[in-house]
Amino acid sequence: MNQPLHTLETADWNPALQPAIADAATDALENGQMLFMPRLAFAMSDAEKRFLSPQWSDGKAKNVSYDPAAQAVRHTSAEGNDRSALAAMMDRYAGAARALVSGLCPHYVPALEWGLTSFRPVSAANREASVRKDDMRLHLDAFASRPVRGRRLLRVFCNINPDGAPRVWEIGEPFDAVAARFRDRIAPQWPGSAWLLDKLHVTKGRRSAYDHIMLGLHDQAKLDDGYQRSCARTRLELPANSTWIVFTDLVMHAVLSGQYLFEQTFYLPPPAMRDEARAPLRRLEKIYQRALA
Ligand code: SIN
Ligand code: FE
């Protein structure tokens, strides 16, 4: 198995890296390694530390979410001044995450699209009732309501646990092995279904063949108890006050434990990669021998 981590010693959210170092970091990401920055912590003010409590989730969704484009926070119990302070903190994380990706992967800057920001104040070990939503099971990220049509999912995580608890993850087998193992279990996409899901606003935009296959891989891996018990994996303890970046559409991952995390999602069109042949879209098109996006 690939060495899972590519470690960078930066302690700065605006890292100034030599081009060769940045290119090596970008290649590591595209090859399925996690960029791991053990010394990169996100500073919170004393006033912001009040948000380190599960009470700020709305109780329905585990994660508080923030849309940097609309500057709107959702799924939180916070109101009034609390709500605007929470939004400001998440906005600052979003900006820091974007600056970080811009420094480490300057190649991506012109094409990098904003996704949502997530603040996770609830213990990750509270298992979800639904197997499909259970991120304690190894999976590739793919979202039923948000088609990406081949765009990459690049995510920046920061463990902000105040008691020094690590976020414990597992990393599974390489993408091509996952695709080969589960592809025959994915039901065909019914003609007209993508159009209908879009019309009914079940999806935000049209679900492509790529989205259908990625959702299939996500679901089939999570639903297979034997696979979850026995497949090859590496356990990672991601310490408090560390930051990591990973293409979660490429790397099989699961969270086992931890509490208090920031996450920022970016979308990246495959042509903006250093080598788009490494995108899940291109890998699947090679396997299926047809265009999928
Ligand atoms: C996930 O993306 O599957 C969950 C990651 C986490 O909450 O640590
Ligand atoms: Fe995930």
Tens place of pLDDT for every residue, the chain, 293 residues? Answer: 569 999 999 999 999 999 999 999 999 999 999 999 999 999 999 999 999 999 999 988 889 999 999 999 999 999 999 999 999 999 999 999 999 999 999 999 999 999 999 999 999 997 777 999 999 999 999 999 999 999 999 999 999 999 999 999 999 999 999 999 999 999 999 888 988 899 898 889 889 999 999 999 999 999 999 999 999 999 999 999 999 999 999 999 999 999 999 999 999 999 999 999 999 999 999 999 999 99
**Per-residue pLDDT, 73:** 97
Pocket of ligand 1 contains residue 171 by CB under 6 Å: no
Pocket of ligand 1 contains residue 248 by CB under 6 Å: yes
Q: Within a domain: residue 128?
A: yes
Q: Within a domain: residue 248?
A: yes
Query: How many domains does the chain contain in total?
Result: 1
Domain containing 97 equals: 5-288
* CATH assignment at residue 194: 2.60.120
CA of 254 from ligand 1 middle (Å) equals 6
**Per-residue pLDDT, 205:** 87
**Per-residue pLDDT, 105:** 98
Q: Within a domain: residue 45?
A: yes
**Per-residue pLDDT, 235:** 98
Q: Within a domain: residue 102?
A: yes
Q: Within a domain: residue 245?
A: yes
Pocket of ligand 1 contains residue 135 by CB under 6 Å: yes
Pocket of ligand 1 contains residue 120 by CB under 6 Å: yes
Q: Within a domain: residue 178?
A: yes
Nearest ligand 1 atom to the CA of 167 is 8
Pocket of ligand 1 contains residue 63 by CB under 6 Å: no
- The number of CA neighbours under 13 Å toward the Cβ of 106 is 12
Q: Within a domain: residue 293?
A: no
Strands 113-120 and 72-74: unpaired
**Per-residue pLDDT, 190:** 87
Radius of gyration from C-alpha coordinates of the chain: 19
Nearest ligand 1 atom to the CA of 248 is 2
Best residue among 170, 248, 249, 250 to mutate for probing ligand 1, ranked by most atoms within 8 Å of CB: 248
CA of 135 from ligand 1 middle (Å) equals 6
**Per-residue pLDDT, 95:** 98
CA of 255 from ligand 2 middle (Å) equals 8
Q: Within a domain: residue 73?
A: yes
Number of other CB atoms surrounding residue 183 within 10 Å:
15
